[in-house]
Chains A and B, each alone.
Chain A
Amino acid sequence: MAEADHGHRCGRTDETMTNFILRRLGQSIILLLIMSVLVFAGMYVISDPVAVMAGEDATEADRQALARSFGLDQPLPIQYLTFLGKIVQGDFGTSFVYGRPVLALIFERLPATLEVVFLAILVGLAVGIPLGIYSGLNRKKAPTKVISFGTTVGYSIPNFWQALLFILVFAVWLRVLPASGRGPTTEIFGVGWSVFNAEGLRYVILPAANLAVALICMQTRLARSGTQEVMYQDYMMFARAKGIARSRLIGRHLLRNILIPIVTITGLELGTLIAFSTVTETVFSWPGIGKLLLDSIYRSDRPVVVAYMILATLMFVLINLVADIIYAILDPRIRYS
């Protein structure tokens, strides 16, 4: 009996993984170049760093000397090319304001952002997925109504407003958590983290919670719509007919299927949070990179802003790539086609 085992039911033309990655990298380089031009030009149009650095009572000669020392007297295309050449060698320039290498500045602030963001994502997944599955499975029950009301409210209250509410309730009224700043850090692999000690953790809670609200709402919705879709699939009924435990039915058969969109979207969200948690970091005076970005824009610190945007683009590209790879791992239909 010729029952060939070549299902190939998915509608994808074949492409090897390496090909795919190479093609994506090619696209990324073009994207990065465009980004660098845009940011560079944009910063030039918006403000004049010499004016900001030199201050009110500088003479014309002072300004010219200042411009020369930073290479700002050259024509714009030359400035751009010099800048690009340095970037390729890993030199992102020196901050006008801090007078230190931009890269060092960013990496110094990065751990603070990372710990808040990852904590928020973990909380988002840990709370959102169960809530979403519950409301997907029990559409008519009262808690589902409460959950869906909650997600709507969570979405519609602006982020900074939530942050202020948190401060008001937990820091001002209840006085259980600090309202701003970063607490003591513990050194791990030469980097200071505050989540790894009890006192530091108290400082992380409010900013992380602030970011987590939107994440919880998003994960809940994704998990709920995924559950409603997967629940009615034939294989779910067949799995029930096999007599397996409900925990397995949900924890394995359902979860593995709804995880696919959740991973993809969470991946994208991760990038946005790392690069642009500016509101939260500002409200809680959290010394992360988002706050650095805002301060730098404010002070026309062009090298910092430009480097920041380019690194952020790079990060998005990488996160996308990783999300696609995880996607392929989760979905064998893609992995084997």
Chain B
Amino acid sequence: MMAPLLAIEDLSIAYQLGDGRDAEAISGFSLHLERGRIVGIVGQSGAGKSTIGKAILGLMGDNARITGGTIALDGTDITRFSEARFAAIRGKRIGYIYQNPMTALNPVLSIGEQLIEAIEANTTRRGGDARAYAVELLKSAEVTHAEERLAKYPHQLSGGLCQRIVFAIAIAAQPDLIIADEPTTALDVTVQKAVLATLKKLAREKQISIVLITHDMGVVAQMCDGVSVLWRGRLVEHGPTAQVIGAPRERYTRDLMAAIPTVDHKRARFDVLDSFEDTPGRRRGIAFLKSGIAAGRDGQSLLSIRNLSKTFDAQGGRGTSGGFRALDGVAFEVFAGETLGIVGESGSGKSTIGRAILGLVEPDAGASIAFQGRPIAEMRGRRDRVALSRSLQCIFQDPYSSLNPRMNAGTNITYGIVAQGLVSRAEAKVLAQDLLEVVGLPRAAAGKMPHAFSGGERQRIGIARALAFRPELIFCDEPTSALDVTVQAEILNLMKELQETLGLTLVFVSHDLAVVRQMCDRVIVMRAGRMVEEGNADEVLTAPRETYTRDLLAAMPRIAFEDA
């Protein structure tokens, strides 16, 4: 019998912390993967999933150390490989697809350069030949207008397109194995499904095995032959997907399945398991939040948007004139104390609404955005700006680029409020630690730098920072996309609680219609810059009037089985 393509035996990994202590991230993990198969690794945020993926590629940071076990690729142990030997297998034998496509590509180099350099590094193709192959790869990754994309830069493309480009890079040298770390976390549901289908197609066609890291059971159900469940660095269960999802043996897995919110019915709270510890610090943090958020005057209009349109200039526009209408006559009100959901497929303009509210993009003439009755455009003085940023905060989908990489987590959380004089420097330190506990991270995490956190942990730091302002309205752009259901439940419950007791107002952009169903009172459905449907969340998500909304609902990945 042939050795499996990948055999991980009893792997343990530790990170050395700033104070010299070791923190064990993975203990005694094993995994076997045959050629042409897809295996999923699921688990909580911070469970150690990405750490395993990086270990296979030798990409762990300087402070990580493999403390035991082996990783065998085709029978060869790679745990003791030098950087040079790893370089020889990276890209060629093992491809990598990264958690966040927006940050995986270098912002200052063109798509073409980044794809072609991978081709030239790992295949014998050069120059024009490599270029032609690049176009071919983009086409097989289902990138539209492949030829033109080569001259573009990452920020000009949507997340879905960036991820397809990352796929093209990963398959360039026809590797045996791809490590796909949360390939669709940052993408909308409609795009997510198509992107996963592309990945599956590529794997089948080219006989590539995939280690698929995710926190989303729906993705596992759609993609994987087998699945391993990880909990705090330990393997709790593994087996064929149908068995683990359909008849989980371990309690943790059962709870995990039960905690998945559904779009079909609404509960008062998200189900919580493995709940955050109720420490004095956490209580203090929550008390801080509660004491400051201005009590909402329920029902009053807080944010009023009229006739909001945004046309982007056609970029590098050869031939095409006019421009691109990202938003077209959008108008809605947000009332104090409510949660308004905004849903719609990728590119439908959801995030652009948020950026217009925050003043990051200039809306077309004729638009009016008023906060508490005052047009935001008029609030230009320093006083007004400070007041506005105090009462209007946002939580971004992409947590890493919104954190300052040079400051530790604690400072990241509090520098805004310290700069505005809302708390003193002395109080800030303890407050940051309290708030970390509020979002389920240990106090000690305050001293770590952003890069030493997992994807979900980074996102929680961003949430803590926004909450620290104790704002009246939070614009949440996919706030929990990188979180597994259990941590997501905690965070969303916290937001719900703050809302119920204090009248915090939320505008909630999400691709997860189930979450929207649980969180929101009203929803707006966006399509190509226009509002197609608006109404009570229960009605819109159970009995939609528009076919487009029905399509969105149908595209939701559900825990159902594809025939294998």
Give the B-binding residues of A (Cβ under 8 A).
1-14, 225, 228-229, 232-235, 237-246, 248, 252-253, 256-257, 260, 330-333, 336
Chain A residue with minimal CB distance to B96?
Answer: A241
Given the contacts A5-B156, A242-B118, A245-B121, A14 and B108 also touching, CB distance less than 8 Å: no
Interchain nearest-CB distance for A118 vs B (Å): 26
Interface residue tally of chain B, by bracket? 35 or more
Given contacts A7-B158, A10-B155, A234-B103, contact A2 B108 (CB under 8 A): no
- The proximity string for B residues 378-409 relative to A, scoring 1 for CB distances below 8 Å and 0 otherwise, is 00000000000000000000001000011000
Known contacts A3-B161, A240-B90; A248 and B117 CB within 8 A of each other: yes
**Least distance between A20 CB and chain B CB atoms (Å):** 14
Which chain A positions have C-beta within 8 A of B57?
241
Q: Check if B106 sits within 8 Å of A253, measured CB to CB.
A: yes
Decide if B425 is an interface residue (CB 8 Å cutoff): no
B348 within 8 A of A: yes
**From B98, B144, B406, B528, contact of A229 by CB (8 A):** B406
Is A253 a contact partner of B109 (Cβ separation < 8 A)? yes
Nearest-CB residue, chain B, relative to A235: B106
What residues of chain B lie closer than 8 Å to A242, measured between beta carbons?
A: 90-91, 96, 117-118, 121-122, 169
B81 at the interface (CB under 8 A from A): no
Name the distance in Å between B151's Cβ and chain A's nearest Cβ: 10
**Which of B90, B102, B121, B312 is within 8 Å of A6, CB to CB?**
B312
CB-nearest residue of chain B to A243: B91
Which residues in B have some Cβ–Cβ distance to A below 8 Å? 54, 57, 59, 87-92, 95-96, 98-100, 102-110, 114, 117-118, 121-122, 144, 149, 152-158, 160-161, 166, 169, 173, 190-191, 194, 312-313, 315-316, 324, 326, 345-348, 352, 355, 360-362, 400, 405-406, 449-451, 528
Please determine whether B109 and A14 come into contact, CB atoms closer than 8 angstroms.
Answer: no
Q: Is there an interface contact between A330 and B108, defined as CB atoms closer than 8 Å? A: yes
Q: How far is the CA of A256 from the CA of B113 in the complex (A)?
A: 13
- B347 touching A229 by the CB < 8 A rule? no
Decide: B347 and A2 in contact? CB cutoff 8 A: yes
> In the bound complex, how far is the Cα of B95 from the Cα of A19, in angstroms?
45
User: Who on chain B is nearest to A335 by CB?
Assistant: B153
CB pair A243–B105 under 8 Å, yes or no, is no
CA distance A11 to B352 in the complex (A): 11
B160 touches A238 (CB 8 A): no
Given contacts A235-B104, A242-B90, A243-B90, contact A8 B312 (CB under 8 A): yes
Q: List 25 A-B contacts (CB under 8 A).
A: A1-B191, A2-B345, A3-B191, A3-B346, A6-B156, A8-B326, A11-B361, A13-B360, A13-B362, A14-B362, A241-B95, A242-B117, A242-B121, A243-B173, A256-B106, A257-B107, A257-B108, A260-B108, A330-B108, A331-B108, A332-B110, A333-B155, A336-B155, A336-B156, A336-B316
Question: Which residues of chain B are near A232, meaning CB under 8 Å?
Answer: 405, 449-451
Return chain B residues, CB-CB under 8 Å to A245.
Answer: 87, 121
CB-defined contacts of B313 to chain A, threshold 8 Å: 14
Write out the residue numbers on chain B whose beta carbons fall within 8 Å of the beta carbon of A237.
Answer: 54, 59, 98
Residue of B nearest to A9 (CB): B155
B308 to chain A, nearest CB (A): 15
Q: Please name the 8 residue pairs, one residue from A and one from B, whose CB atoms are nearest each other, closest first.
A: A243-B91, A4-B347, A241-B96, A232-B451, A243-B90, A234-B103, A11-B360, A13-B362
Nearest B residue to A240 by beta-carbon distance?
A: B59
Q: For residue B99, which residues in chain A have a CB less than 8 angstroms away from its CB?
A: 234
Closest to A236 in B: B106
Contacts of B106 in A (CB 8 A): 235, 239, 253, 256-257
Q: Which residues of A contact B194 (CB under 8 A)?
A: 1
Determine the chain A residues whose CB is within 8 A of the CB of B528 once the complex forms: 2
Nearest opposing residue in chain A for B326, CB measure = A6
Question: A residues within 8 A CB of B160?
Answer: 1, 3
| Cβ distance B554 to chain A, nearest Cβ, rounded Å | 15
Residues from chain B with Cβ under 8 Å of A248 in the complex = 117, 121
Partner of B157, one of A2, A7, A11, A256: A7
B113 to chain A, nearest CB (A): 8
Q: Smallest CB-CB separation from A138: which chain B residue?
A: B62
Closest to B166 in A: A238
Q: Are A243 and B109 CB-contacts (below 8 A) given A6-B158, A7-B157? A: no
From residue A237, how far is it (CB to closest CB) to chain B in Å?
A: 6
Nearest A residue to B102, CB-CB:
A9
Q: Provided the pairs A8-B155, A336-B156 are in contact, do residues A233 and B103 lie with their beta carbons within 8 angstroms?
A: yes
Bound CA span A248–B91, Å: 15
Given A13-B362, A243-B87, A243-B91: A4 and B108 interface contact (C-beta under 8 Å): no
B351 to chain A, nearest CB (A): 9
B98 contacts A238, C-beta separation under 8 Å: yes
Chain A residue nearest in CB terms to B84? A246
Minimum CB–CB distance from B65 to chain A (whole Å) comes to 15
A243 to B169, CA, bound (A): 11
Residues of A within 8 A of B450 (CB): 232
Chain B nearest CB: distance from A82 CB in Å?
Answer: 42
CA distance A241 to B117 in the complex (A): 12
Q: Are A5 and B103 in contact (CB under 8 A)?
A: no
* Minimum CB distance partner of B122 in chain A: A243
Tell me if A235 and B107 are in contact (CB < 8 A). Answer: yes
Q: How far is the CA of A123 from the CA of B449 in the complex (A)?
A: 34
Nearest Cβ in chain B — how far from A92, in angstroms? 41
* Smallest beta-carbon distance B298→chain A, Å: 32
B96: chain A residues within 8 A (beta carbon): 238, 241-242
Is A4 a contact of B59 with CB atoms below 8 Å? Answer: no
Q: A229-B406, A241-B90 are in contact. Are A2 and B346 (CB under 8 A)?
A: yes
User: Chain B contacts of A228 at CB under 8 A?
Assistant: 406
Residues of A within 8 A of B405 (CB): 229, 232-233
Q: How close is B403's CB to chain A, nearest CB, in angstroms? A: 11
CB neighbours of A229 from chain B (8 A): 405-406
Contact B312 A235 (CB under 8 A): no
Residue of A nearest to B528 (CB): A2
CB-CB under 8 A from B102, the residues of chain A are 9
Given contacts A4-B324, A6-B326, A256-B109, contact A11 B355 (CB under 8 A): yes
**Bound complex: CA A272 to CA B258 (Å):** 67
Contact: A3 with B107, CB < 8 Å?
A: no
Query: Using Cβ atoms and an 8 Å threshold, which residues of chain B touch A241?
Result: 57, 59, 90-91, 95-96, 98
Residues of chain A with a CB closer than 8 A to B345's CB: 2
Task: Output the residue of B102, B348, B361 with the most chain A CB within 10 A.
Answer: B361
Given known pairs A5-B152, A237-B59, A241-B96, the reply for A332 and B355 (CB within 8 Å) is no
List A contacts of B169 (CB < 8 A): 242
